[in-house]
Amino acid sequence: MLQTFLMSQPFASDIQMTAQMDSSITGNFEVTIVELNNKLIHSKRRGMGLMTDSSMNAIAVHIEDALEEL
């Protein structure tokens, strides 16, 4: 869901997504900007919640802002 959403954004060609699997099925995920010292944008594990339209839009805005910083 999130990957499809992000790949539909104008910045899609400027980002790379990498999955790191947990040892079991957890539903955990994090979104970080590696080039900015692993800046954490969203973490279900750290209590930032499930994916909603609102949270996906917020993640997209954070990514756009981060790309401008690079």
Residue 5 CB-density burial (10 A; 0-12 exposed, 13-18 middle, 19+ buried): middle
Please give the tally of structural domains in the chain.
1
* Helix H or strand E segment including 67: helix 53-69
Share of the chain above pLDDT 70, in %: 100
Q: What pLDDT, on the 0 to 100 scale, is given for residue 69? A: 87
55, two tokens: 């949270």
- What is the distance, to the nearest Å, from the Cα of residue 33 to the centroid of all Cα atoms in its chain? 8
Predicted TM-score of the model (pTM): 0.81
Q: How high is the pLDDT of residue 9? A: 96
Mean pLDDT of 31-44: 90
Domain that holds residue 45: 2-69
For the stretch 13-22, pLDDT in tens is 999 888 877 7
